[in-house]
Structures are given as structure tokens and as C-alpha cells.
Amino acid sequence: MSFGTIVKELRIKQKKTLRQFCQDNQYDPSNWSKIERDINRPTKNEVILHQWAKSLGLTPDTEDWQTFMDTAAISRHEIPRDLTDKELLGKLPVFFRSIRGAEMSEEELKQFIETVRELHRSDDE
């Protein structure tokens, strides 16, 4: 699901038109429409991105909040900041080869998955 689709669904879930939502949150309707249609990429500014998430009814430290932030990063063609660890980045070329069709050894895949899990655990602590 695209960032724009998530944003639009969250706004609609609040039962607000685009204009109502923008008026309530002091957003420009034209720019917000471009975000919802994936014409404009989401901002890199975390303060603004957090403001958007809260205005869309998301609560920090929830799965929906994390999905919103991850999807924003992905739509900017970035890896989410909390996953940009040197060890993980070093394993990405093997992962990329794998998803492009080159075979990844079972050991390489296990190492990659374990690295991601370790990073996730350390973020939770």
C-alpha cells in the first residue's frame, strides 16, 4: 500500500473530506491532495511527519505509527532510519541479489534475518 493511500484511508476513517481535514489541521488542500495521490513524496522532516501522523489519529509507539513512518521512508526511496545500521547495510547487497533472482544461500538468508531481528530487539530495549 502506498503512503498516499494510507494517508487518504486514515483521513476517510475520520469521516472528513479533504477540505475539512485540511482546514482543521491548517494544511494546504492542494498540497495534501498531491500527497494522497502520491504526486508529492512525504517530508523528511520528522517533526512534520509526526504532526501528520497525529492529525491522522495515529498514536506514537504503535504498529500503525511505525507502518506510517516506514511507508513514508520507503516512498522517499529510503531505508527507515532505525534500520540503517552498518552491519545490516553490509548485508543488503546479498538481499538485493536474492530478490532480483540470484540465489541466496540458506546461511546468508538466516544471517540477514537474524541481523534484522537483532536490530529490532535492540530498538525495543
pLDDT, one tens digit per residue, over 72-106 is 999 998 877 776 666 667 767 777 777 777 666 77
pLDDT, one tens digit per residue, over 2-18 is 999 999 999 999 999 99
CB 64 within 8 A of CB 58: yes
> Could you tell me the pTM of the whole model?
0.70
